Amino acid sequence: MYLLEAPKENVEDERAKFAVFGEACRILDDAGIPHVMGGGVAIRAYGRTRPLKDADIFMQREFVFPAMDELTKSGGFHTRDTDATWLFKAIKRDILVDIIVRTTGNIHMTQQSLETARRVSLYGYSFNMMGPEDLLFRKIHSHREGRPDQFDALSMLEAPIDDFNWTYFMEMAMTNNLKKVLGFLLWAQAEVGEAVIPRWVICQLTDRVLLDYCTPESA
């Protein structure tokens, strides 16, 4: 099922969620805690609009507990650890904000991920939004049955994103499951057209896959 036209959420529910999301990010900004907003909120900046069950804020591990302390002290959030070593939670008015340090494929936040973030306003709130290159890369690797990631990623390629840095994207792709990246990009070309992805990107990934596959050690 093609999901680019995802169902829309109740406007009042949306505004309530974004008020909490925006407050969380303002508190982190004011405290000088490096972070980026990812997940479905970031998808809205670069791709489709779909209902949101929470917000995903990414940061490096050493900032997690200072962030949770600040959200509790300055915003009245209830925060807690989880059984997962990569996921922490902050809740206010029954609205959930996930704090994430790594995603599927063991992809961690890096200094470059922070430096390539973009300032974006949604519903009147300012977010330090994960850059489209990092977001697309993580969405490709996070896809599994029952999740929206594959079509989130596809929606990002429906229209050109200003100043998308394919060179930076390729630096990440070459170091982590490049077959999965190539497979997604070929599928995306079949769905929305070949022009959405530069030819050199497909060629470099294909050449690398063939080189790895055809070496004597792989024979």
All domains of the chain, ordered by start, with CATH? Answer: 11-156 (3.30.460.40)
Is a pLDDT exceeding 50 seen at residue 1? no
What pTM, to 2 d.p., does this model score?
0.91
Angstrom distance (rounded) from CA 3 to CA 165: 26
pLDDT at 135 (0 to 100): 98
According to DSSP, residue 55 is labeled E
Is a pLDDT exceeding 90 seen at residue 83? no
Is a pLDDT exceeding 60 seen at residue 7? no
- 34-48, 58-72, 79-93: lowest mean pLDDT where? 79-93
- On average, the pLDDT of the chain sits at 92
Q: Find, among 34, 1, 33, 13, the residue nearest to 114 by Cα.
A: 34
Tokens at 44, concatenated:
């809205």
Burial, 84: exposed, middle or buried (Cβ in 10 Å; 0-12, 13-18, 19+)? Answer: exposed
Tell the residue number behind the tokens 């508190």, with chain if given. 27
User: Would you place residue 2 in the very low, low, confident or very high pLDDT band (cuts 50, 70, 90)?
Assistant: very low
Q: How far are the Cα atoms of 76, 123, 172 from residue 12, in angstroms, in the given order?
A: 22, 11, 38
- The mean pLDDT value for 175-187 works out to 94
> Contact 38/57 with Cβ under 8 angstroms?
yes
User: Would you place residue 143 in the very low, low, confident or very high pLDDT band (cuts 50, 70, 90)?
Assistant: confident
Tokens at 89, concatenated:
């939670």
Query: Which amino acid appears at position 102 of this protein?
Result: R
